[in-house]
């Protein structure tokens, strides 16, 4: 079968399509005929050689931690009724809080039966895989943030897949949203999804503009998907006694906040592992996100898709910060 391999660590050009052996389902596993594969910012970081202390990857390897498609085979101990069903799933090697997000950029992928989520008929497989990571994380963040009607919420990385979902969830809760992103295209998207105000965080003084949007009082909740210096600056837009949730690192790293200074202002800071833990019911969150999208209450924003042969361009789009919403690789004909 055909699969994308990172032949060495480096730029997007190290990705190439090769013929590799087809996967065989072991006990508790299934083989998915892949229709679409999710492309994450993390994929680009790992391909560049980052994260060796967390992810023990050796080249060549097949990137990609989540796929959607149709199950073509099952291993021992798996109910044969799964065969022929449309599913979205993490790959067998990938799991939250461990594992390796690999194996997805391929015509066929292995998955564990406990990670399978059936795709509602109302959704395409592309929509489903676009929610594979972001859908469940959006609800995990949203539930932990306990956003109330009338609160002001600042969302960074608002033009990405997770940010676009959080805009909609915050607005549905009756909150006012300030969306921070880079460039007019992303800001216009945030406005269309319901943001009350938008700020371009590539411009100086953006956190002052975010605070000004609230009438100067500051936001009650920060949902930081950007991290880095952008996340640190986002704290300047927060009101005293507010809540800061840092779950993303699209700027390159998580925000290194002065937690003592934040505490002195009564600001409660939640890092990624304060938001989710071993008790988080990821399958339930995944099903919830698919159900909300299937019911038309949640728009899935897929900004760009690339064929399997052009994974290099998918990675380049993400790294250039031009990608909007989710980025996918289309593999099969039924997406």
Q: What is the pLDDT of residues 10-47, one digit of tens each?
A: 999 999 999 999 999 999 999 999 999 999 999 999 99
Q: What is the pLDDT of residues 129-150, one digit of tens each?
A: 999 999 999 999 999 999 999 9
Q: What is the pLDDT of residues 187-206, one digit of tens each?
A: 999 999 999 999 999 999 99
Going from N- to C-terminal start, the domains of the chain cover 2-131+300-330, 134-275
For 290, the token pair is 């698919």
Question: What's the rounded Cα separation, in Å, for the pair 211 and 200?
Answer: 13
* pLDDT in the model for residue 47: 97
Q: What is the pTM of this model?
A: 0.95
Task: Pick the closest to residue 180 from 146, 150, 214 (CA basis).
Answer: 214
Mean pLDDT throughout 241-264?
90
| Paired strand residues for 98 | 95
pLDDT greater than 90 at residue 95: no
Q: Which residues of 11-50 are buried (b: 16+ CB within 10 A; e: fewer)?
A: ebebbebeebeebebeeebbbbbbbbbbbbbbbbbbbbee
List alpha helices for 174-281, DSSP H: 184-192, 206-213, 228-234, 259-264, 272-275
Q: Which residues of 300-317 are buried (b: 16+ CB within 10 A; e: fewer)?
A: bbbbbbbebebbbebbbb
pLDDT greater than 80 at residue 247: yes
Task: Pick the closest to residue 70 from 137, 17, 129 (CA basis).
Answer: 129
Which are the contacts of 215, defined by CB distance < 8 A and separation ≥ 6? none
Which pairs count as long-range contacts for 143-148, CB under 8 Å and 24+ apart, including other chains?
144/245, 144/270, 144/274, 144/275, 144/276, 145/221, 145/223, 145/243, 145/245, 147/173, 147/175, 147/221, 148/173, 148/174, 148/175, 148/220
Instruction: Check if the beta carbon of residue 72 is closer than 8 Å to that of residue 108.
Output: yes
CATH class for domain 134-275? alpha beta
Which are the contacts of 161, defined by CB distance < 8 A and separation ≥ 6? 130, 133, 134, 301, 325, 326
Torsion sign over Cα 307, 309, 314, 317: negative
Q: What is the pLDDT of residues 276-293, one digit of tens each?
A: 888 899 999 999 999 999
Instruction: Check if the beta carbon of residue 93 is closer than 8 Å to that of residue 103.
Output: yes
Domain 2-131+300-330 carries which CATH code? Answer: 3.90.180.10
Rg for the chain (alpha carbons), in Å? 20
pLDDT greater than 90 at residue 79: yes
Task: Pick the closest to residue 182 from 3, 63, 80, 323 (CA basis).
Answer: 323
């Amino acid at each position: 079968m055909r699969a994308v391999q990172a032949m060495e660590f480096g730029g997007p050009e190290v990705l190439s399509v090769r013929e590799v052996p087809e996967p065989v389902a072991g006990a508790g596993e299934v083989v998915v005929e892949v229709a679409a594969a999710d492309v994450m910012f993390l994929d680009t970081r790992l391909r560049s050689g980052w994260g060796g202390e967390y992810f023990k990857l050796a080249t060549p390897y097949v990137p990609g931690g989540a796929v959607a498609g149709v199950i073509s085979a099952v291993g021992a101990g798996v109910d044969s009724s799964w065969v022929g069903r449309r599913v979205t799933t993490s790959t067998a090697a990938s799991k939250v809080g461990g594992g390796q997000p690999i194996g997805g950029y391929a015509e066929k992928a292995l998955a564990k039966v406990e990670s399978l989520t059936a795709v509602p008929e109302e959704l395409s497989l592309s929509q489903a895989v676009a929610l594979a990571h972001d859908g469940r994380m959006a609800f995990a963040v949203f539930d932990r943030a306990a956003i109330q009607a009338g609160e002001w919420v600042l969302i960074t990385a608002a033009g990405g897949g997770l940010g676009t979902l959080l805009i909609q969830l915050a607005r549905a809760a009756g909150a006012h949203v300030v969306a921070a992103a880079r460039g007019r295209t992303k800001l216009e998207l945030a406005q269309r999804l319901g943001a009350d105000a938008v700020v371009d965080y590539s411009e100086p003084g953006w956190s002052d503009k975010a605070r000004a949007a609230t009438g100067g009082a500051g936001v009650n909740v920060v949902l930081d998907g950007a991290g880095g210096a952008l996340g640190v600056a986002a704290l300047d837009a927060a009101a005293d006694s507010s809540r800061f949730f840092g779950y993303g690192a699209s700027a390159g790293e998580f925000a290194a906040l002065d937690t003592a200074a934040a505490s002195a202002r009564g600001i409660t800071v939640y890092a990624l592992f304060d938001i989710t833990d071993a008790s988080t019911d990821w399958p339930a969150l995944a099903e919830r996100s698919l159900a909300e999208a299937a019911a038309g209450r949640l728009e899935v924003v897929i900004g760009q898709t690339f064929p399997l042969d052009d994974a290099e361009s998918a990675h380049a789009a993400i790294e250039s910060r031009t990608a909007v919403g989710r980025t996918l690789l289309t593999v099969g004909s039924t997406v």
